[in-house]
Structures are given as structure tokens and as C-alpha cells.
Amino acid sequence: MSNKLIVTRQRDLEQAADYKEWREIAVELDTLEGAAAWKQDDTSDDYDYLLIKERLAEMRALRKGGDVRQLVFNLYEGLHGNIGNITNPALYGVARVGTKLLIEQYVEEVARCLDYLCIGDFPDFPEDEKIIFFKRTGTVFGRSALMLSGGATLGMFHLGVIKALHERNLLPKVISGSSAGSIIAGVVGSRTDAELGRVFEPGGLNLRAFQSVSLRNIFKGGAVMDGGQLERCLAENVGEISFTQAFERTRRIIGITVSPADPHQQGRLLNYLAAPHVLLRRAILASCAVPGVFPPVMLEAHDYLGRVVPYMPSKRWVDGSLANDLPMLRLARLHNCNHYIVSQTNPHIVPFMSDVAPKRGLIPLARELASSGSRGALTLARTHMDPYGAGRIINKLDNVTRQKYSGDVNIFPRHTPKQLLNMFSNLTDDEIQRFIRDGDRATWSKIDRIRNQTRISRTFDECIGILKQRAIEKAAAPRKKASLRAVK
């Protein structure tokens, strides 16, 4: 009876209408299949459960006892994201919902302690010390980023991922996009939370980005698609704002990767720090310029007077996925990111993605040998090629094979041959809604993991926001009193 029930509930899980229903069935299956009992058992070779249990007991006792100075000291010296290996993927591959309860309790206790220190009024822990503590400890702990890959129209899957995270207040402030992913990143980065929900509705976006050019243009060596049509699409969806204006409007940190069309240039991550006045739509246009499909792009920016002017006018830029589909190192350096949620839709990568951590065996070995062999062949070819002719093509291929295409949490679709055939075709509203549903559903199984692994960094952000607001109000109070005295 139990096996039949499990099979039935597994079928129900696949057909769940929304996340609430999916989660209820998943929790039931965890009980039926034994994963709930596994969660109750603290012990495991996959993490240092003794260390986590000890630190949990210490924090809980210090908070309940009101020993603020010792609690601050302990958090200062022992708080980091992967303490005791608690983010080990193996710990999230047993249960459908969550992980070891000890880990979940530890994470919640850290968040509770941070809230306690932030909101409480302590004579021996004044406001200025609080600000220093939260800024320093938060910097050491790090933050999460959402990374949206390339994939042409397959990248509309990202919309569903964004929807799932946004509806549960789990959308990171740092979002990067390459190629198709840059379109979605730009859409999210130019809309407030109140506006973002409308994007997921039928007709919420104009995504008619593809229009072929004449055969004469193609035979002259031009691109297959009209860059002007794509730019008109971006202007309607993103507008004329710069990276800085987008950040000031939404407080989201958007990064767009672009690759050089010319030699002697490196790929770039454009954002409000590295390219503050560059127009967001032009950066996206460049990131989407797949060689041979769309023409290379010159960037544009606002000048001192707010006029639109060329940016590095002698340089042209192309598809961001070629140089850096997932710019993890640059996000780490610029925005203190050390945890990456990846929505991956590149058709040459997705077939090799898996929810299960790779095990030893012939298939993983064969994949690694094929990958290392292709990289070696490209390196050898590059040394014997003209660097300004075929050598440049080899360099681009070498960049593609050397990149890392996965993060700490990976969300990816199930591609079909029909989807691949329509990669550079305009989508109907129904097709876009189908991509959104697929992305939404693919994210459900990762929600608890993302919530757990981002809980502490989100608490740091919230606490720092509260402390900053208090400081602003405190600074404004004397001025307000002085103005009232002047009126009297």
C-alpha cells in the first residue's frame, strides 16, 4: 500500500498546480520515503554536526541570558557562510523540502540573534558600535547573487525563476545577465517591486526582438537579424535609463556582461560602479549580439549634461556569454558575492546539468576527459593559428570551453528539439507564459534551499537598512527641533 501511495503522490507532485500544493505533497513524500526521519537525525558524515550543535547551544544561551557583549564577540569571530560545511550539496539531495533540522535551527538562531542585536536597546552596545559590527560582519559573511545565462529565446525561462523568487521575497539584490539573460536582468533592474508583478502577466513584455534582414545584407557579410528591431524592443521594455539611474530607482544591482568584438580587449561586466552612465538598453543590445546573428554594438552613455553620447566610440561589443556567461569573480570583487544562484539555459550546457552531485564512474570520467581534451586541442590550435584570423575564432571557442557554467544552486529547464529550432524566433504570449510556468516550477524544488542559504545574508541587509534609517532620523531630529524653536 505504501509503495502505491508513494507512486501516486509522486505523480501528484509532477502535476501540482502551485507551489503551496507542491510543497504539501513533497513534505508528505519526505515522510513516506524516510527523508523526514533523516532530517531529524543530526548525525552525518557530510557536515560537522558536533560543531554546529555546540555553536547553536552557545548562541541560544547567550541570547536568552542577555549577554550581549559575549554574543557579539562570538558572532564576530565565528560567523561565516559555510561553517562546518553546512552548504554541502549532499545535504540537500535527500529530502525534497529542506535539510537537517539542526542546520535549519542553527540558521534561524543566527538570524534571531542578529535581529535581537539590531532592534534591542543595550547600554553596553551603543548604536555606532552596532553599525560597525553589522557592516564588518556582514562583509565577512558575504551575499548572494542571481545569475542569468544566455540561451536566446530559451532565456525566457529566467522569467519564471524570477517570479518564483520574487513572490517569496527571495530575489537577490545582485543580478547579472549575459546575452538573453541580460534582457531579463534589465527588465528586473528597471522595475520596482510594485511594478515587477505585471511583467509575468500575458502581454507584460514586448519580446518581439527578431526580424530578419535582406538576403543582400547577409551576402555582404552582415548579420542575419536586424539589430534595430532588437533595440526597439529593449527601448520599450527598459527605456533610456543608465545603470546608476536603474540602481537609484530599484536599489537592485544589475550587471551585464559584454565581450569584445576587437582584439586587445577583455570582456567586461557593466554595472552602476564600473559603467555608471552607460545606457542599460545599449549594454543589453551588445550582450545579445550573437556573432553572425546580430551586428556588433557601440555602447552609449549619458554625458555630464544628460545627453546621450557614444561610449568608447571606436570599440564594438558582442554576446556576453562568449567571454563570461557567469561573472562570479567580478561579482565577488565588486559586490562581495560568495553564493551564486544560477538559472542556466544555454543549449550546449543544459544537457550536462544535473540536480544530483556527480559521482565517481565512467560517465563523469568520460565527460571530464572530453572537456579537458577539447580545451587542450583548442590551446594547441591557438598556438599555430594567425592571431588575427582563425586564431581569434579559436580564442573565443577556448573562452567558451574554459568557463564555469554552474553555481551553488542551479536551476535549468528540460529542453526539447522544438525549442532549439525556434531559438531565434519571436514568441507568442502563450509561448512566453509556458516558459514562465516552466521556470517557476523548476524553482520550486530549490526554494527551501535558497531560503535557508540566504537567510543570514538577507537578515544582515535588513538590519543594516534599519540602522541606516535610524541614523538618518537621529541626524534629522536636532534640525527639526531647531526649526521649531525658530518658529516659536
Active site residues: 179, 319
Helical (H) or strand (E) element with 339: strand 337-343
User: Which three-class secondary structure state does DSSP give residue 145?
Assistant: strand
Dist CA 226 CA 242 (whole Å): 23
C-alpha cell at 215: 538576403
Query: What DSSP assignment string belongs to 232-287?
Result: HHHHHHH-S-BHHHHHHHH--EEEEEEEESSTT---EEE-TTTSTTBBHHHHHHHH
Which residues does 179 contact at the CB level (< 8 Å), separation at least 6? 149, 150, 151, 152, 155, 287, 288, 290, 319, 320, 321, 325
Residue with cell 551575499: 143
Query: What DSSP assignment string belongs to 385-452?
Result: S-TTTHHHHHHHHHHHHHS----SEEE-----HHHHHTTTSPPPHHHHHHHHHHHHHHHHTTHHHHHH
Number of C-alpha atoms within 13 angstroms, CB side, residue 211? 11
Helical (H) or strand (E) element with 343: strand 337-343
Q: Which among 192, 248, 299, 259 has a CA at the least distance from the CA of 398? A: 259
Angle at 392 (CA atoms; ends 350, 220), nearest 5 degrees: 95
Question: Is residue 283 within 8 Å of 258, Cβ to Cβ?
Answer: yes
Distances (CA, A) of 457 to 21, 81, 119, 354: 28, 9, 17, 26
C-alpha cell at 305: 549634461
Helical (H) or strand (E) element with 340: strand 337-343
Crossing angle between the packed helical segments 101-119 and 49-65, to the nearest 10 degrees: 30
Angle at 23 (CA atoms; ends 17, 25), nearest 5 degrees: 80
Question: Is residue 378 within 8 Å of 397, Cβ to Cβ?
Answer: yes
Dist CA 212 CA 194 (whole Å): 36
